[in-house]
Amino acid sequence: MQTSTIIINAIIMFIIAFTVSSICIPLVIRIAEKKKLYDSTGGRHIHNGQISRLGGIAVFAGLIFSQVYFFLDIPSTEAILKSYYLLTFSISLLFLLGFLDDMVSIKANTKFVLQVLVALILVWGADVRIESFYGLFGVEVLPLWFSYLFSILVITFFVNAYNLIDGLDSLSSSVGIYVLACFTGFFVWNEAYVDSMIAFSAMGALLGFWFFNKPPARIFMGDSGSLSIGLLLAYFSIKVSNIPLDDEGTLSPVFAMVVLAYPVVDTLRVFTRRILNGISPFTPDRNHIHHALLDLGLSHGKSTIVVVSFSFFLSAIAYLLRMDQTLSFLVLVPLILFVSQIPFYLLRLNNKRKVKMKKVE
């Protein structure tokens, strides 16, 4: 299919998803106010007042309603339809899981098992998997068993990583829009029609939500939105790792990982810290990077700008180094770890200054 046709249909999908999401958000807010369905304070959420965390309903509605238009024009090959149906089913399943968790709270172990099940559906049923490392440390095509196992772990991890950053006004929606914009460009360039349509649809739904989630937030995404969108981002990251990024046909799984660098490194950090402290890695706390940015005196909006700028900077480097997977990995992983520690280093310096000032007083 021609690029011009993809772009025209993508714009229509974007508009439909944006319109539906924008219309649904005020309705969800009013219902939440009437039924007193508010988010609890504390944990990883930093906000004042009573705010609903049911924004995922509007995001999901925008995404699904826009598929009605797409379904009328979807390419009808059996493989494409199977992958599309399984993805839609998987997103819907995690949306339902998240919605139930937002309403009545579901045990972390139960959520984890269902996330693994959904990952298995996509990897085994839709054959969406990381097939090769494309030269990273000399590794090319992966053994089939390892490809399945690794892909399931990647999807499950990315879903949880995105879920954990839904604790700051506009953060999850801004990061989601940024990641989708990066991936969508390569889908359009490769004339990947189905992936382009879904990505534009998701961007429209998230943007409609973003206007109500930007500081001061009137609503949060909640698990219903963060789990379903997180799954979509994980799905797209694997798809991007298997398509060319330039005219030379360069493939780079490192680039796909780096685009999602913020939720990845933040989650690895908090999971490691919690495990070392002898508590569940799924226990909410205030040890995220964006919490450190807030403690440094940045506003919600400025903290989000820092995070997205950080992601863009790393993505640009990853793209410039795309020809050499090993070099890209060896440069970017230490750089990501170093940059992610800067807020905590600055915070420790501030705390030491405060202690010295108190002693002087």
pLDDT tens per residue, range 298-310: 999 999 999 999 9
- Percent of the chain having pLDDT more than 70? 93
The C-alpha torsion from 103 through 109 and 112 to 116, rounded to 10°, is: -130
Q: What is the pLDDT of residue 182?
A: 94
Query: What confidence tier does 75 reach under pLDDT thresholds 50, 70, 90?
Result: low
Tokens for 31?
A: 């219902």
- Percent of the chain having pLDDT more than 90? 61
Listed residue (38, 39, 92, 90) closest to 65, CA to CA: 92
Q: Is the pTM of this model over 0.85?
A: yes
| CB neighbour burial string for 222-257, b if at least 16 within 10 angstroms, e if fewer | bbbbbbbbbbbbbbbbbbbbebebeeeeebbbbbbb
Q: What is the pLDDT of residue 36?
A: 73
Query: What confidence tier does 34 reach under pLDDT thresholds 50, 70, 90?
Result: confident
Query: What confidence tier does 251 reach under pLDDT thresholds 50, 70, 90?
Result: very high
DSSP 307-345: HHHHHHHHHHHHHHTTT-HHHHHHHHHHHHHHHHHHHHH
For residue 91, what are the β-bridge partners? none
Question: Looking at the predicted structure, is the pLDDT value of residue 43 above 60?
Answer: no
Question: Looking at the predicted structure, is the pLDDT value of residue 42 above 60?
Answer: no
The stretch 132-155 carries a mean pLDDT of 93
- Helical axes 222-241 vs 78-104, angle rounded to 10°: 150
Q: Name the more confident of 48 and 27.
A: 27
The 3-state secondary structure of 55-82 reads: CHHHHHHHHHHHHHHHHCCCCCCHHHHH
